């Protein structure tokens, strides 16, 4: 159960931080940290040691049935937004039924679609990861748009002219 409290104190980027909006069916471990305009859907798991900090870039959206595993950091820049599936602008969008695994970094502007797996210690920054993608461990996904239904083994991820060379699962 999440520890109830007040919104974090103002920062240089956000003088009046919004309270997170967390669906009552979500499980947020008390050793996690959620600050600012973060919208967490139904049946989401937020594991211990996570930091979800919408104090500079915001808002963040985490879709139903997703899991944010131990040690994940989600943060965003003040500049740059992605379009969410609802047509609105977000610093970070994580779709439904996606897994952001241990010690990963999702740094906005970033979009992770539905049914995605972001592998251990991977980084997604200034990128769009399409629905159904699998990103293996220790990968850097930056400044690209990855088409849906692709798998990226860490050793084979490469870019050409800011377009990914896709390796289908």
Is residue 9 assigned to a domain? no
Catalytic-role residue among 56, 65, 145, 149: 56
Is residue 38 assigned to a domain? yes
Are 148 and 168 spatial neighbours (Cβ–Cβ below 8 Å)?
A: no
Which structure tokens are listed for 92?
Answer: 């970070």
Which structure tokens are listed for 43?
Answer: 């049946």
- Number of domain units in the chain: 1
Each residue's pLDDT tens digit in the chain (169 positions)? Answer: 444 444 555 666 666 678 999 999 999 999 999 999 999 999 999 999 999 999 999 999 999 999 999 999 999 998 999 999 999 999 999 999 999 999 999 999 999 999 999 999 999 999 999 999 999 999 999 999 999 999 877 554 444 445 544 433 3
Domain span including residue 45: 21-168
Is residue 12 assigned to a domain? no
CATH number for the domain that contains residue 96: 2.160.10.10
56 is catalytic: yes
Contacts with 18 (C-beta within 8 Å, 6 or more apart), sequence order: 7, 36, 37, 54, 58, 59
Is residue 107 assigned to a domain? yes
pLDDT at 106: 98
Is residue 123 assigned to a domain? yes
Is residue 57 assigned to a domain? yes
Report the length, in residues, of the chain: 169
pLDDT at 45: 98
Is residue 7 assigned to a domain? no
154: phi > 0 → left, psi -120 to 50 → alpha, else beta; which? alpha
Is residue 152 assigned to a domain? yes
């Amino acid at each position: 159960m999440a520890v109830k409290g007040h919104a974090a104190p103002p920062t240089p980027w956000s003088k009046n931080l919004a309270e997170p909006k967390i669906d009552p069916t979500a499980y947020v471990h008390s050793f996690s940290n959620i600050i600012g305009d973060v919208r967490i859907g139904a049946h989401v798991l937020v594991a211990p040691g996570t930091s979800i900090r919408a104090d500079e870039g915001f808002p963040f959206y985490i879709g139903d049935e997703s899991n944010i595993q131990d040690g994940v950091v989600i943060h965003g820049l003040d500049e740059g937004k992605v379009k969410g599936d609802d047509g609105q602008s977000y610093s970070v969008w994580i779709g439904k039924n996606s897994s952001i695994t241990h010690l990963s970094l999702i740094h906005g502007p970033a979009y992770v679609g539905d049914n995605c797996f972001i592998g251990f210690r991977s980084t997604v920054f200034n990128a769009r990861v399409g629905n159904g993608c699998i990103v293996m461990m220790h990968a850097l996904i930056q400044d690209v748009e990855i088409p849906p239904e692709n798998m990226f083994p860490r050793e084979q991820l490469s870019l050409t002219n800011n377009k990914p060379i896709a390796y289908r699962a």
